[in-house]
Amino acid sequence: MKLYAIFFSPTGGTRKVCQLLTSAWQQPAEEIDLSDSRRDFSAISLTAEDICVVAVPSFGGRVPPVAAQRLGQIQGGGARAVFATAYGNRAFEDTLTELEDVLKAAGFRCDAAVAAVAEHSIMHQFAAGRPDARDKEQLEDFSRQICSHLEGGAPGEPAVPGNRPYKELHTIPMVPQTLDTCNRCGICASLCPVQAIPAATPEHTDPQLCISCMRCVQVCPQHARRVAPEILAATSRKLEAVCSQPKENQLFL
Ligand SMILES: Cc1cc2nc3c(=O)[nH]c(=O)nc-3n(C[C@H](O)[C@H](O)[C@H](O)COP(=O)(O)O)c2cc1C
Ligand code: SF4
Ligand code: SF4
């Protein structure tokens, strides 16, 4: 049996959740990073003996389209999937339902699911610091429960919340701006999951390609990329009521 941690994690929260969910198997998980825009995912071929923890962030209550597309290229080969979403304390809506469909179409068997809260990657005041120590304990406990559930034989599909058809894809476009302090080091261009930043002119961003994932903002050593403060403030005010009350992680077996 080989253990895989497969994730799309522009700013690292989803990766943390994915790693915590692999903890019960007590063996190193091979990482497959879906945000690597240069990797050929169709070359990945899994088998029925493999166990994969597959995690994506919820973007607008859906699976980020680029993550769905790259997952769809993997040959699942009957591998068992524990599928998870990390969301920023608003709601994950149809993310798990869609993720399950994407995985089944790629040939995975879907055995268990988790929805976990992680710091909001745009408005960091929501779920700040999560997953925290309590989340870590809880997600490690979920991992143990899932591990014994899988060892118990053929577990069957978990009932996850969500609708088909999925809610419409709609996120508020927040293309980061580049400030004058940019020294054109190119780090953001090389790490953008969708190649929206040209390497030669990193002060420009293609608004058609940008998925507002915030990785460039996080990785810029000069702090030269940001979402316009007035847009950030207005969106924060709009989401305050639905994002402020801490939400619980959920396990679906
Ligand atoms: C474009 C975008 C859309 C998002 N939409 C939602 C959402 O619908 N519900 C929610 O609770 N959090 C939402 N978030 C927050 C992320 O789901 C959350 O911060 C997640 O942990 C980010 O994963 P990462 O740290 O792996 O990049 C959104 C974040 C981004 C960047
Ligand atoms: S990482 Fe920052 S400094 Fe480097 S090119 Fe991008 S915006 Fe400019
Ligand atoms: S340019 Fe857009 S898609 Fe690329 S890293 Fe920045 S926010 Fe993400």
Residue 172 has pLDDT above 90, yes or no: no
Query: Can you tell me the mean pLDDT for 188-200?
Result: 97
Q: 131 burial class (0-12, 13-18, 19+ CB within 10 angstroms)?
A: buried
CB–CB of 114/17 below 8 Å? Answer: yes
Q: Would you say the CB of residue 95 lies under 6 angstroms from ligand 1? A: no
Question: CB within 8 A of 106, min separation 6: which ones?
Answer: 71, 72, 73, 74, 75, 76
Residue nearest to atom 2 of ligand 3 (CA): 210
Cis before 246? omega within 30: no
What's the pLDDT score for residue 178?
97
The CA dihedral of 159, 161, 167, 169, to the nearest 10 degrees, is: -90
Report how far residue 89's alpha carbon sits from residue 107's, in angstroms, rounded to the nearest whole number.
31
Three-state SS at 87: strand
The CA dihedral of 204, 205, 207, 208, to the nearest 10 degrees, is: 110
Centre of ligand 3 to C-alpha 214, Å, is 6
Report how far residue 96's alpha carbon sits from residue 102's, in angstroms, rounded to the nearest whole number.
10
Residue 155 has pLDDT above 80, yes or no: no
Q: Which atom from ligand 3 is nearest to the alpha carbon of 225?
A: 6
Centre of ligand 3 to C-alpha 27, Å, is 33
Residue 235 has pLDDT above 90, yes or no: yes
Q: Would you say the CB of residue 215 lies under 6 angstroms from ligand 1? A: no
pTM for this one? 0.98
Report how far residue 200's alpha carbon sits from residue 112's, in angstroms, rounded to the nearest whole number.
44
Residue 239 has pLDDT above 80, yes or no: yes
Which pLDDT tens digit goes with each residue over 100-110?
999 999 999 99
Which pLDDT tens digit goes with each residue over 104-127?
999 999 999 999 999 999 999 999
Pocket test for ligand 1, best of 59, 90, 95 (most atoms within 8 A of CB): 59
Residue nearest to atom 2 of ligand 2 (CA): 220
Report how far residue 82's alpha carbon sits from residue 67's, in angstroms, rounded to the nearest whole number.
16
Centre of ligand 2 to C-alpha 201, Å, is 10
Query: Can you tell me the mean pLDDT for 191-211?
Result: 96
Query: Can you tell me the mean pLDDT for 203-212?
Result: 96
Centre of ligand 3 to C-alpha 50, Å, is 32
Residue nearest to atom 25 of ligand 1 (CA): 13
Cis before 165? omega within 30: yes
Report how far residue 139's alpha carbon sits from residue 54's, in angstroms, rounded to the nearest whole number.
14
Alpha helices by DSSP H, 74-228: 95-105, 133-151, 187-191, 215-219
Q: Which of 12-21, 144-153, 189-198 has the lowest mean pLDDT?
A: 144-153
Which pLDDT tens digit goes with each residue over 4-19?
999 999 999 999 999 9
Instruction: Return the structure tokens found at 199.
Output: 């390497």
- Ordered domains of the chain (ranges, CATH): 3-165+248-252 (3.40.50.360), 177-226 (3.30.70.20)
